Each structure stands twice: as structure tokens, then as C-alpha cells.
Amino acid sequence: MGYNGGMQTPVTIFAIAGSLRAASLNLALLRAIAQIAPPTFEIRIDTGLGNLPLFNPDLDADSLPAVAAMRDAILAADVLMLASPEYAHGVSGPMKNALDWMVSNTSFIDKPLVLLNTSPRATHAQAALRETVSTMSARVIDDACISLPLLGSGLDAEGIASDPVLRQTILDMLQRIRAFF
């Protein structure tokens, strides 16, 4: 991040949706963010969460392509963005599995991180997610973490991006990320 010949270098955000559902609200939100983000941001949405093997500390993470790819994508990004559903008052299994794989490397240490919540009533998973990433030494950008009332809205990425209130909330969130740097 900085300036290059008068041009502002884009903030790169690696975004992970914690659901494997094709119609995931979390993924729809990340796609909406990518659609409306100004050119001062580069949003890279993870597509490999479902490819991660179940966490097993006996396995060598460096020899597992899906784990190494996620680690490298997190390390390469300026900001990590996590959008995870809540299942039975907990973080989704795929998201927790991904986090477990990242514990043994440096990808989260001092990594600026934003938590997104698509259901404001889903507070248990958000609290657990915050605790986990804080334990992993990520730097949560508190004023950029948002909850949006998307559960039951029927909105897809285009609907989220075109809703004036949601759009403004997302743009404000991106501005707070930019201000962090």
C-alpha cells in the first residue's frame, strides 16, 4: 500500500466465505463487495475452502497443495476478510478447519483482518471467530467489522450490491479498511 507515481496501490483483500453452499449469503456478500469495491481495492475471493483436507497435525501442511495455496494467498494479501455462518452457535466446520490449518504457520501473525456477519442474530460464531483469530495473532480491524441483515432477504450478490443502504455500508467498511493503513 502506498503511492506509485501518483497512483495509490490497491489494498489487496483475500476473502473467505465459511460456507460451502452454492447459494451462500456469505459468498454473495463477498461477491457484492468485489463488485462495488473502488479501484483502490483488489478483492480475491477464495475458491478452495472445500478442497482443504480435514485438519490433521500429523500431516505436513507444506506438502498439501490446498493448504499451501491458502497460506500463500493469506500471506500475499494486505487484509484477510472472513464471512462465516453460524451453525449450532458455532463457527462453520469448513471455516474452523481452514483456521486450524493456518495455526502452524505465520499467515495470521499481525495480519489485518475483518469479520463480516450476514445475520446480526448470529453472535456466538462471530465471538468465537474473533477469539480464534485473535489467539492466532491477527489484528482485527474492529471498526471495519460489520453485520448486515441478509438472512431471509432473498438477495444475491447483485441484489446486495444494488441495495442503497447495503451498498453504502459496504463502501463505508472499505473506507475504514483504507483508513487503517
pLDDT digits (tens, 9 = 90+) for 130-156: 999 999 999 999 999 999 999 889 999
pLDDT(5) > 70? no
Q: Give start and end residues of each alpha helix (H) in 37-138.
A: 65-76, 93-102, 123-135
Contact status, residue 136 vs residue 98, Cβ threshold 8 Å: no
Mean predicted lDDT score pLDDT of the chain: 93
Express each pLDDT in 166-179 by its tens digit: 999 999 999 999 99
pLDDT(7) > 70? no
Grid cell at residue 172? 463505508
| Residue 3: band (very low, low, confident or very high) from pLDDT cuts 50, 70, 90 | very low
Contact status, residue 39 vs residue 105, Cβ threshold 8 Å: no
Q: Which of 60-64, 114-118, 143-147 is predicted least confidently? A: 60-64
For residue 54, the model assigns a pLDDT of: 97
Q: What angle do CA 115, 43, 68 make, to 5 degrees?
A: 80
